[in-house]
Amino acid sequence: MRSLLLAAALAVSTPAWAQTALPLNIGGRVAPAPEGAYDFGWPGVYFEGRFIGPSIEVVVDTRAEHLAVSVDGVRKAELTKSGETRLKLDRLGPGQHTVRLDKLTESQTGSARFEGFFVGPEGKALPASARARRIEFIGDSHTVGYGVRSASRDCTQAQVHDLTDTSLAFGPILAGRLDADYRIEAFSGRGVVRNYNGVAAGEPLPVLFPRVIPGQAEPRVAAGDPWQPDTVVIGLGTNDFSTPLNPGEAWADLAALHKDYRASYVSFIQGLKASRPGARFFLIAGDTFADDVAEVAQRAGATAVRITNMDGGACHWHPSVADQTMMADKLEAAIRTN
């Protein structure tokens, strides 16, 4: 699986005047940039295009992110070097093809820029093809796929970055099984009202959620966003409760934290429901806050999905590939039966 081109590839390009940009199916939030480009920062953003022809060129400024390029569902390259990249894939065979660029790593600051898929005069651009079903995933590092490629729990921050792969997280796995387009709004270390060890007080996930790029306060998602999910899966709570309260935090004791978590979570879901009419909501319940999630689900009209017994074999005791697959299994069963 990993016998891939693990570097940015430079190719002799067809002159720009002879190229045709492919129409796009975009999964995830993006910010329009000059000359038809898009900036993006949330995990798991992807771009897809369809074409006829023997070759395709992918143009992207990776900045600090790692990205994967696939053709017809087969991963052809991983772009791991920073900076402007022009990757040309040729000898693709006759007929129609689908090209896809996936964001693998997490951007807590900054973003990458997608500049387009291009066919030369020997090819033909086709209309983009979107899927009928849409799922939105909202969460923390478990949803991000934090360090999921690691075979060890002991990781440096550089290793966490390089071994994070959102395409191996439960969201994209589940979306693939259900043939759904998806969006992911997830940020490691954030909770509903409290972040890991009390860091970044006042900026839990619901505060970041309206941003188009998570590390930037502006731009924000416009009212009446046309992208409407059929299903929303939320996994928040681990960071609210995984560390003891520190002196000076906003809650007098753990009981006050649990009360605030429940009330704020219900309010967050109710706000989401108002802008996502008809969507079904599923809430992931972990070991230490399952009762809280059960109450929130009952009050907010959602379904709680209990997920326990993970091996935590990835970086810093995060879900392994096996754990992520198990999470997708349990969510799939819940979605298909509710």
Instruction: State residue 45's pLDDT score.
Output: 98
Q: Provide the pLDDT confidence category of residue 198 given band limits of 50, 70 and 90.
A: very high
Asked if the model's pLDDT at residue 10 lies above 80, the reply is no
pLDDT at 176 exceeding the cut of 60: yes
The predicted pLDDT at position 206 comes to 98
Is residue 169 pLDDT above 60, yes or no?
A: yes
Q: How far is CA 168 from CA 34, 65, 174, 251, 279, in A?
A: 31, 16, 10, 36, 25
Provide the H-helix boundaries in 54-178: 141-144, 157-163, 170-177
Q: pLDDT for 66-119, tens place per residue? A: 999 999 999 999 999 999 999 999 999 989 999 999 999 999 999 999 999 999
What CA–CA distance (Å, rounded) separates 296 from 278? 19
Residue 312 has pLDDT above 90, yes or no: yes
Residue 287: pLDDT above 90?
Answer: no
Average per-residue pLDDT for the chain:
94
Q: Which domains does the chain have, with CATH numbers?
A: 16-126 (2.60.120.260), 133-337 (3.40.50.1110)
Please give the Cα distance from 281 to 138 (Å, whole number).
11
Rg of the chain over Cα atoms, rounded to whole angstroms, equals: 20
Mean pLDDT within 149-170 = 98
| Mean pLDDT in residue range 281-302 | 96
The set of catalytic residues is 141
Question: Between these two residues, 139 and 4, which has the higher pLDDT value?
Answer: 139
pLDDT at 5: 44
Place of tokens 């009928």: 132
Q: 21-56: per-residue pLDDT in tens? A: 999 999 999 999 999 999 999 999 999 999 999 999
pLDDT higher than threshold 60 for residue 9: no
Mean pLDDT of 272-300: 96
For 214-263, the pLDDT digits (tens) are 999 999 998 888 999 999 999 999 999 999 999 999 999 999 999 999 99
Q: What is the largest CA-CA distance in the chain?
A: 68
Instruction: Tell which wins on pLDDT, 302 or 1.
Output: 302
**Tokens 């490629």 -> residue:** 149
Strands (E), 187-329: 231-235, 280-285, 303-306
Find the helix or strand (DSSP H, E) in which 45 lies: none
pLDDT computed for residue 14 by the predictor: 55
Q: What is the pTM of this model?
A: 0.95
Judged against a pLDDT cut of 50, whether residue 6 lies above it is answered with no
Band the pLDDT of 8: cuts 50, 70, 90: very low
